[in-house]
Structure 1
Amino acid sequence: MTKTEGPAARDTAILAGGCFWCLEAVFKEVDGVESVTSGYIGGRLDAPTYRQVCDGGTGHAEAVQIVFDPALVSYRDLLEIFFVIHDPTSLNRQGNDIGTQYRSAIFATSDEQLHTALDLIEHMGEARLYPSAIVTKIERAGTFWPAEDDHHDYYAKNTDQPYCQYIVAPKIAKFREKFASRRRRGG
């Protein structure tokens, strides 16, 4: 079970939407998010490496595991941010990153999360928020494997790198513009 009870209740969300560096950088700025860990989920190999996942043969997706305080940010809020900062209509691709490891997926850790994700996708489809159909897969979460240490806080440690400037930074700017009220205070 991922949810704890009592005044210090926490929950966990696992999302895949292309490169985990982008998702990590954005979700670290969300008020109510306590930690974001880049890693791998949904594959056939225990403890995969970055190189194995990038080669595309393990079946894993690059993903982030988000620990959050549901009293400050809801799971649905996190999903709404997720759907704005990546392209949920692109099958197994985000920009120039191509392959199933870059798929759009929600890994539900509970029945409640599963139903919330299904309801939100149905709502967005009915509202025709995107010019194409949403291809985001919703799966039950399996084992999440944290990525190697050099992938944690990647954007913060590499802001001058071209990939960070041209791919990650625009996603952060989009989050800040569209979700200013969800941004961590002092962040």
Structure 2
Amino acid sequence: MPTLGRMSAEPAAPGELDYLSFVDYAIARTTAELPAVDPVAMRLGLTLHRLTSALVYDWESTVHRPRGWSWGGFRVLFALWLAGPMEAKRVAQLSGMSRAAVSALVNTLERDGLVSRTPAEHDRRAVLLSLTDSGHDAITSAYVAHNEREQAWANALTESEQTVLIGLLEKLTTSSAATEAKRRF
């Protein structure tokens, strides 16, 4: 089965590798030592991971860090903007983070005047998180800039390619492996 991608007959030497050529090198080395490894599945996993890391780095460095937020802080604000007010455990579920991470981020966001906590009516121990007016203004402004970066990345593909890729990614997110992984968080 072919490995797809830019794989040349001779992968670069370790000292000549860069972020993307490392994928070709890793696949060649891994499959040479472990012939049962599926190189296409490996390329898919490595490529998705590297793309995701590059996207997050781009968004965080160009949009969110200049506003004083981490990627996690943005995710909390985004969840509260679109689905809040809600308890921290629900923010954790919607943002794909642990409750401990959300709690630490909320402390900072509350200190910065972007998020507020109020006792929940249904349970005196529970706390509802919500955006302050400043938090709402901050996340909506940030999201406009965030979406501009999303558009810059998406513009590498035609509209029909974007549609196909979205469909394929959604198919992966609803696969049995994805369903199994979702049960763990």
TM-score (norm 2): 0.24
TM-score (norm 1): 0.24
**Which of the two has greater strand per residue?**
1
> Which of these two proteins has the greater Rg computed from alpha carbons?
2
Higher helix share: 2
**Higher RCO structure (Cα 8 Å, ≥6 apart):** 1
